[in-house]
Structure 1
Amino acid sequence: MRTAPGGPALADRLAEAVHRIDAPDVVLAVTRQRHRTVADGGTALAPPTPRPALRYELGSLSKTFTMLLLADLVVDGTLSLDDPLTARLPRLPLRHPRSGRITLRHLATHTSGLPRVPTDMLFGALVRPYENSYAGYDTERLLATFARTRPRHRPGTRWHYSNFGPALLGTAIGHTTGTDYADLLTARVLKPLGLTGTTLAPGTTGTDAIGHRTNGITPVRSTDMGAFAPSGAVRATPDDLLTYLEAHLFPDDAPLAEALRMVRVPLLRRGLQHRDTHTLTWYQHPAARGPLLFHVGATFGQQAFAGYHPASGTGLVALATRRGRTCRLAATAYELLYALAGEEG
């Protein structure tokens, strides 16, 4: 555990929150005005590499990295949020007119009308529920599936969470720039922000956290996301995620300043009485003195949460090596961040 000066009370709160999260390995990390406090624990024996030094799978939290890359490309004029998707892809024989109306903005904000995952992937998941349906799903198959997929509704009219959309967005970015998505993300986001412990591929043995099924016992192999890498392939250390959040909290002091400011701007509302607000990539909820922004993610054996409160300069990261609601990671992390947002730093 590492504690910032004057922060033993926060360290105790983090330690207590760690015990509320039921997983083999747990890390909770907070930054307040750039002072960091980290706590770790779990139901399993401590691994040879300390838990805060391991790299964790972020799942859908990866989308915030993809959308920051998109924002940076918009800032420099390479792309526009309102570019049609089809203008940024190889020519495709689209079967449905609505597909041609999808823009990059729709993909980023989950308003494209595309399903959560392609229907052919759903069939594989039903037949082989414990196998990773993303593995081996390459870009050629992704584009062919898009060409025959009918959007469920007119693009821009409804919110429906999708991994399919951001995967296509990453492909469009790669096609437009002539650079592989992973290489471009590394060059334009990870390196400028100093995220040396962040990658899109597994590391060497002993550097990556090992995930577990919902029983918390059965280990799960590293997740291969195939062409869905922009939706869920990022892996990062807790320290790197704190650095990432600090860039969002203090964009004027960071590289990608304009893009970091851009991804904080509210773009749409949804839900009962339009209570749920979304930016280009973050969920935004009201909190003391200003909005709280956050995102969650999960792979087949791990969970992640990252959120920040600009008004208080507070960010929180939570990571666990078990998937499932009974883990209580997201709820515990959100409640703690919300409480910290209402307190003086």
Structure 2
Amino acid sequence: MRLPLTFALLVATGTAAAEPLETTIDRLAKPYVDSETVVGMTVGILRGDDQAVRGYGRFSADDSRTPDGKTVYEIGSLSKVFTGLLLADAVVQGRVTLHTPVNQLLPKGVELQPHGDQLAELWHLSTHTSGLPRLPDNLAPSDPNNPYADYDGKRLGAFLNSYRPRKRPCEVIEYSNLGAGLLGLCLAREQKTDYASLLQKRIAKPLGLSDTTIKLDEERRDRLAPPHTEGGVPDHNWDFETLAGAGAIRSTADDMLTFAKAFLDPQEGELREAIGLSWCVHQKPIEDSDFAMGLGWHVARDDQTRWHNGQTGGYHSALFINRPLKVAVVVLTNTATMEVDTLAQDLVRALAGADVKPREFEVSDDVPAEVLERYVGKYRLAPGAEFTVTTKGGKLLVGLTGQPTFQVFSRSETEWFYKVVEATLTFKVDGKGNCTAVELFQNGVRQTAERIE
């Protein structure tokens, strides 16, 4: 997932930069909890030699614990930065090169087809320039609430053998969970291990990341904040098998700050050279909308901030690092909402000295349960694209075929808005109180989905 960073060159001006770190976090983070945008959240920041970690909200409706620096979260696609570092580490060790063909590390009988005579190389997987799609077309999870859990090597091999790239490597930057997951698999195979073990051996242990892992023991599972959809509805944890390098890692704010510190000021040690290699720009923007890429890292418009975010079914994460300013920000939440990306950006700007005001969130109106129930059903937007409307705990949830289910919020009994995107839904009710259709308004276009169930 990506967000439209538009950082200009950031220069500290003095006033806001001198504000105590805890005050800065509290001032900007509390509106996210007060508005129920997130259920629970941990925020950590570094500024020079100073560090602060603050927790907000609660683990869940049934668990009043306040998250802290030791709370465990799924970090989703932030895992791609770790996978990029594993690639850099393997290059520094001399095990592979950035230009090693992907096919050289695939199992016998599995081959990624070239576009013409151009073969995808390892660095293409880390910079999203391999020509692979975002996801394989045979993902087809048995449990849609845990979409990667049963995607195994056999299914991946079948996809790779049959897929014909429509673009040659480096023709476009196309964000690919498949590519990053494939990279993690290749690097683990080269060292005759699995991704989880490689992560522990080559990154977690050398950097002292005691809670950065994939599989949780009983003690860490007790510290795992339960997942929620946007709006606070309980959701499901995600598990990964073959594509672990795309998003399988769990971590804490304390560990993520330690990781960020290693990139802010690389120290002598076995990973210093690899950190430098992964930080470098390896792919410049191709289209105006692209970000430059390190190995796994996105490079913001200011050409100095490295960042990545991540989201699974019930979590969101964001990490931003700016070396010239000597600042880093990590935001981890047990709520699947991209709203916190704005918080991370605002914290970086505040640490740079900008006068950043706390956000104000639109407040949803209360709607009686009997009104919600009249909307429950399915609505056909187009062939193969249907809205599924459900209720849970007094909340209205809407899912579109092939996309996650999100809570929508009321402006009136019939008009509802999303927080994850700029879009509204208007339910059409006849004179008898029956809902017959729902109108989607997004990007200036109105589309009507007729009720089918």
Kept after mapping to 1: 8 A contact 2:145/2:236: no
What is the match of residue 135 of structure 2?
117
Matched position secondary structure for 2:239: coil
Kept after mapping to 1: 8 A contact 2:263/2:275: yes
Kept after mapping to 2: 8 A contact 1:116/1:162: yes
Q: Distance in 2 between matches of 1:28 and 1:298?
A: 16
What is the match of residue 361 of structure 2?
none
Quick one: structure 1 residues 52 and 60, their matched pair in 2 at CA, closer, same or farther if it must change by over 3 Å? same
Kept after mapping to 1: 8 A contact 2:41/2:331: yes
Percent identity (aligned): 33
The question of 1:240 aligning with 2:251 is answered no
What is the match of residue 267 of structure 1?
282
From 198, 213, 223, the equivalent of 1:199 is 213
274-283 vs 330-339, which moves further = 274-283
Q: Residues 1-345 of structure 1: matches in 2 within 5 Å? A: 9-21=20-32, 22-42=37-57, 47-48=64-65, 50-92=67-109, 94=111, 96-98=113-115, 101-121=119-139, 124=141, 130-204=144-218, 205-217=221-233, 219-270=234-285, 272-273=287-288, 276-287=291-302, 291-325=304-338, 328-341=339-352
Count matched residues.
329
What amino acid is the match of 2:275? L
Shift of 1:14: 0.3
Q: Distance in 2 between matches of 1:108 and 1:207?
A: 31
Quick one: structure 1 residues 140 and 341, their matched pair in 2 at CA, closer, same or farther if it must change by over 3 Å? farther
Q: Distance in 1 between matches of 2:112 and 2:185?
A: 19
1:149-185 superposed Cα distances (whole Å, 9 cap, x missing partner):
1223111211000010111111211221112221111
Matched position secondary structure for 2:20: helix
More helix by share: 1
More strand by share: 2
Q: Distance in 2 between matches of 1:216 and 1:258?
A: 42
Matched position secondary structure for 2:22: helix
Shift of 1:276: 2.4
Q: Distance in 2 between matches of 1:213 and 1:151?
A: 34
Quick one: structure 1 residues 94 and 282, their matched pair in 2 at CA, closer, same or farther if it must change by over 3 Å? closer
1:307-343 superposed Cα distances (whole Å, 9 cap, x missing partner):
1111122111001111134xx1011111221332357
Kept after mapping to 1: 8 A contact 2:24/2:350: no
Matched position secondary structure for 2:51: strand
145-154 vs 333-342, which moves further = 333-342
In structure 1, list runs of 5 or more residues that go unmatched.
1-5
In structure 2, list runs of 5 or more residues that go unmatched.
1-16, 355-453
Q: Distance in 2 between matches of 1:233 and 1:329?
A: 20
1:261-319 superposed Cα distances (whole Å, 9 cap, x missing partner):
111111222265476221111111244xx711110001100000011111122111001
Quick one: structure 1 residues 93 and 51, their matched pair in 2 at CA, closer, same or farther if it must change by over 3 Å? closer
Q: Distance in 1 between matches of 2:263 and 2:112?
A: 40
1:124-160 superposed Cα distances (whole Å, 9 cap, x missing partner):
59xx7x4222111112221221111122311121100
Kept after mapping to 2: 8 A contact 1:201/1:233: no
What amino acid is the match of 1:110? H
Shift of 1:214: 2.3
RMSD: 2.3
Report the TM-score, using the length of structure 1 for normalisation.
0.88
Matched position secondary structure for 1:53: coil
1:226-283 superposed Cα distances (whole Å, 9 cap, x missing partner):
2111110111111000000000011134540000111111122226547622111111
316-325 vs 269-278, which moves further = 269-278
Matched position secondary structure for 1:98: coil
Kept after mapping to 2: 8 A contact 1:30/1:315: yes
What amino acid is the match of 2:30? H
Q: Distance in 1 between matches of 2:289 and 2:38?
A: 34
Quick one: structure 1 residues 225 and 95, their matched pair in 2 at CA, closer, same or farther if it must change by over 3 Å? closer
Q: Distance in 2 between matches of 1:274 and 1:137?
A: 31
Kept after mapping to 1: 8 A contact 2:141/2:148: no
Shift of 1:93: 5.2
Q: Distance in 1 between matches of 2:340 and 2:19?
A: 22
Q: Distance in 2 between matches of 1:236 and 1:266?
A: 26
Matched position secondary structure for 1:192: helix
